[in-house]
Amino acid sequence: MADVTRREFLKVTGASLAGSSLVLLGFSPTAALAEVREFKLARATETRNTCPYCAVACGVLMYSLGDRSKNARSSIFHIEGDPDHPVNRGTLCPKGAALIDFIHSPSRLTRPEYRAPGSDKWQPISWDEALGRIAKLMKEDRDANFVARTPEGLSVNRWLTTGMLAASASSNEVGYLTHKVIRSLGILSFDNQARV
């Protein structure tokens, strides 16, 4: 019993028992008396993820506050290498070690923005308005410039006046859905960073 940790000690004692009487009986947790506060990581939610930079794909452990209940917003406050990962075995490079500052970078975009033709500034726009206008612009361009057949009569069903670059830091699932959507529109100008 002398080796109980502070947490176990509190569990054992509960609120109704007087700690002091237990101390008198000799049940004192030795280390706990010197401990000012619990490690923050011990209360955190641990989530396994992968470093988003190079393709070594080091395993990382992300620690967040918030217990994932529906109305509790999690906040990641620490990231470290995953010691179980067979490739990086807990290590991270100067980029991976600073991931927490990427997540919380002041350059993170937080709301949709719009820049009008000829303007020198951004203005806020709602998601509804932005996606509505983008869909309209895309449809107008596609309907005006879609090539169903070449002058020689070949069936080609392509749309060449709008293009897209996809992100090779996005997940397989994002990449797969993006590809599916883009080809259904007939777009051929379509690459990702593998081209560079």
Per-residue mark of binding to other proteins, 142-161 (x: CB under 8 A): xx-xx-x-x---xxxxxxxx
Residue 167 burial class via C-beta count within 10 angstroms: exposed 0-12, middle 13-18, buried 19 and up: exposed
Least separation in angstroms between CB 15 and other proteins: 33
How crowded is residue 135: how many other Cβ atoms within 10 Å of its Cβ? 10
Using the rule CB under 8 A, give the single segment among 12-20, 23-31, 32-40, 71-79 that binds other proteins: 71-79
Q: What is the Cβ-side half-sphere exposure of residue 142, based on CA atoms within 13 angstroms?
A: 17
Instruction: Count CB neighbours of 79 within 10 A.
Output: 23
For other proteins, the binding residue among 26, 30, 71, 180 (CB under 8 A) is 180
Residue 173 Cβ vs other proteins, minimum distance, rounded to whole Å: 4
Annotate each residue in 96-115 with x if it binds other proteins (CB under 8 A) or - if it does not, as one string.
xxxx-xxx-xxxxxxxxxxx
Between residues 19 and 186, which has the closer beta carbon with respect to other proteins? 186
Other Cβ atoms less than 10 A from the Cβ of 51: the count is 23
Per-residue x/- marks for other proteins, 118-147, CB under 8 A? Answer: xxx-x--x-x--xxxxxxxxxx-xxx-xx-
Please list every residue from 1 through 30 that binds other proteins, using CB under 8 A. none
91 binds other proteins (CB under 8 A): yes
Q: Is 185 in the site for other proteins (CB under 8 A)?
A: yes
Nearer to other proteins, 21 or 114 (CB): 114
- Three-state DSSP class for residue 8: helix
Query: What is the token pair recorded at 124?
Result: 């806020």
**DSSP code at position 68:** -
Q: Is residue 172 close enough to count as binding other proteins by CB under 8 A?
A: yes
**Residue entry with tokens 């947490």:** 7
- Is beta strand 59-65 parallel, antiparallel or unpaired with respect to 155-158? unpaired
